[in-house]
Chains A and B, each alone.
Chain A
């Protein structure tokens, strides 16, 4: 609980838009309390920049509780910074030492064009979900919830996979900028549950096809995504996605949704 004050040197990536080349800019952050969150430290820097008529650093953030998935930047070469299982909004300055140099970069991936400074466009992840990351059930047509028991172990596994917050750290951390962990988490969540069976084969195919179409790389099993994931989403889901895809290819029927595409 004890408080210390830090002086840090920030090297922040500044980029005006997707077509700007971008560059690093150096700022001093002085008198930073160890109780501050990382984003509060940036707030302090930004307020100071505004008072000095300089353009503040743009970064995405919203809930600041580590659940909405808005925030994300690479801190000293690590997505979401040095603390494991922690989004950058929940990272606190007690993880840093006085006099540290801190390098801040946006998620870098061709699938995530930079909007401005540390803000990137992650709409590709939405399009992957749109391609099939759902169970088609019309509002009001659901049957009684307890009609279909689901073993606790299966429900727990589905919940493990469903914890993904869609922040994109997996893509940012992957040497190949692959969105495999993100896509696999949703495919696994839905394929584990009995409700997800009807669309299981289609889902694997359409979501993987969209993932590839967005220009993300392939998985080469480095495990960087799992290490960077603030929610601890496991690599085992990628293995499951691979199984689901092969299975769907082997059992493919005609007249499916993916057939129409």
Chain B
């Protein structure tokens, strides 16, 4: 116990926590996305899938607890690093030019809080306070038919895309996986995973808005 505590006290330890908790969340996001593909199989399929999940109480609550823990660790470490890094930087340059970093990396501290708000909204919208309890398909389609709600989902998923890209790429580095021979693949893999999930997730509200998916 002493050892883990010591590790977490270092900046590197905090990053390891961010990477591991992040990977748990990435795993969930992938599963969540695959499950949501049931939307395209129709009302019955999606609702059945939802009911199946609801009926597996231990799995459901196990996952929820794990996610809660992962989110908690991710956010606490992020906040701790953020405040430390702000202090370390001190004054800013009058002129500054980025040489290597990218948009995704620079905006992690923005995409993160946006995602947190989006997750809260998403939980309220579909899980905690749904319009029609138990009718997942109907909630989704009616919700996305409202352009404002669809807009929230589209924004949230774009933030997710950027956050995932830098997160996956960065987690590998933090966990020590960096070898000049494989680094190009590492970047490609991060792009592929984050792009697939983002485009897939975006397809749901867009399909509803475009009228491909209806009640």
Name A residues whose Cβ lies closer than 8 Å to a Cβ of B: 11, 13, 24, 74, 76-78, 103, 105, 108-111, 173, 175-178, 205, 208-209, 211-212, 215-224, 226-228, 234-236, 238-243, 245-246, 249-250, 252
If A24-B94, A218-B11, A218-B12 touch, whether A109 touches B84 (CB-CB below 8 Å) is: no
**Secondary structure at chain A's binding surface: helix, strand, loop or mixed?**
mixed
If A178-B88, A215-B88, A249-B4 touch, whether A221 touches B174 (CB-CB below 8 Å) is: yes
B93 touches A227 (CB 8 A): no
Q: Mark B137-177, 1 if CB is under 8 A from A, else 0.
A: 00000000000000000000000000000100110011111
Q: Which residues of chain A have C-beta atoms less than 8 A from B16's C-beta?
A: 242, 246
**CB interface residues, B 98-122, toward A, < 8 Å:** 98-101, 105-106, 108
B81 touches A173 (CB 8 A): no
B6 contacts chain A at the CB level, 8 A cutoff: yes
Contact check: which of A222, A227, A235, A241 meets B105 at CB < 8 Å? Answer: A222
B7 contacts chain A at the CB level, 8 A cutoff: yes
A selection of 24 A-B contacts at a CB cut-off of 8 Å is A11-B94, A77-B93, A108-B90, A109-B90, A110-B90, A176-B85, A208-B11, A212-B9, A215-B87, A217-B11, A217-B87, A218-B14, A227-B100, A228-B99, A238-B173, A238-B178, A239-B178, A242-B173, A242-B175, A245-B13, A246-B12, A246-B176, A249-B3, A249-B7
8 nearest A-B residue pairs (beta carbon): A239-B178, A243-B176, A218-B11, A217-B88, A227-B99, A176-B85, A222-B101, A77-B97
Q: Which residues of chain B have C-beta atoms less than 8 A from A205's C-beta?
A: 6
Task: Report the minimum CB–CB distance from B26 to chain A (whole Å).
Answer: 16
B10 touches A74 (CB 8 A): no
Q: Tell which of A221, A242, A249 has the most Cβ of chain B within 10 Å.
A: A221
Q: How long is the Cα–Cα vector from A212 to B7 in the complex, in angstroms?
A: 12
Q: Which residues of chain A have C-beta atoms less than 8 A from B10's C-beta?
A: 208-209, 212, 245
A249 touches B6 (CB 8 A): yes
If A218-B81, A246-B176, A250-B3 touch, whether A177 touches B90 (CB-CB below 8 Å) is: yes
A242 touches B87 (CB 8 A): no
Q: How long is the Cα–Cα vector from A239 to B169 in the complex, in angstroms?
A: 12
Q: How long is the Cα–Cα vector from A239 to B6 in the complex, in angstroms?
A: 19
A109 touches B88 (CB 8 A): yes
B178 touches A236 (CB 8 A): yes
Task: Report the minimum CB–CB distance from B43 to chain A (whole Å).
Answer: 43
If A235-B178, A236-B180, A240-B176 touch, whether A108 touches B89 (CB-CB below 8 Å) is: yes
Q: Which residues of chain A have C-beta atoms less than 8 A from B87's C-beta?
A: 110, 215, 217
B92 contacts chain A at the CB level, 8 A cutoff: yes
Q: How long is the Cα–Cα vector from A110 to B83 in the complex, in angstroms?
A: 13
Q: Which residues of chain A have C-beta atoms less than 8 A from B101's C-beta?
A: 175, 222-224
Contact check: which of B11, B93, B169 meets A219 at CB < 8 Å? Answer: B11
B85 touches A240 (CB 8 A): no
Q: How long is the Cα–Cα vector from A218 to B82 in the complex, in angstroms?
A: 9
Of chain A, the residue at the smallest CB distance from B170 is A221
Q: How long is the Cα–Cα vector from A238 to B176 in the complex, in angstroms?
A: 8
A245 touches B12 (CB 8 A): yes
Task: Report the minimum CB–CB distance from B172 to chain A (whole Å).
Answer: 8
Of chain A, the residue at the smallest CB distance from B105 is A222
Q: How long is the Cα–Cα vector from A254 to B176 in the complex, in angstroms?
A: 25
Task: Report the minimum CB–CB distance from A55 to chain B (whole Å).
Answer: 21
Q: How long is the Cα–Cα vector from A119 to B13 in the complex, in angstroms?
A: 33
Q: Other CB < 8 Å A-B pairs besides A76-B95, A177-B85, A218-B14, 14 of them? A: A74-B93, A77-B93, A103-B95, A175-B89, A177-B88, A215-B87, A217-B88, A220-B85, A224-B99, A236-B178, A241-B12, A242-B16, A242-B174, A249-B6
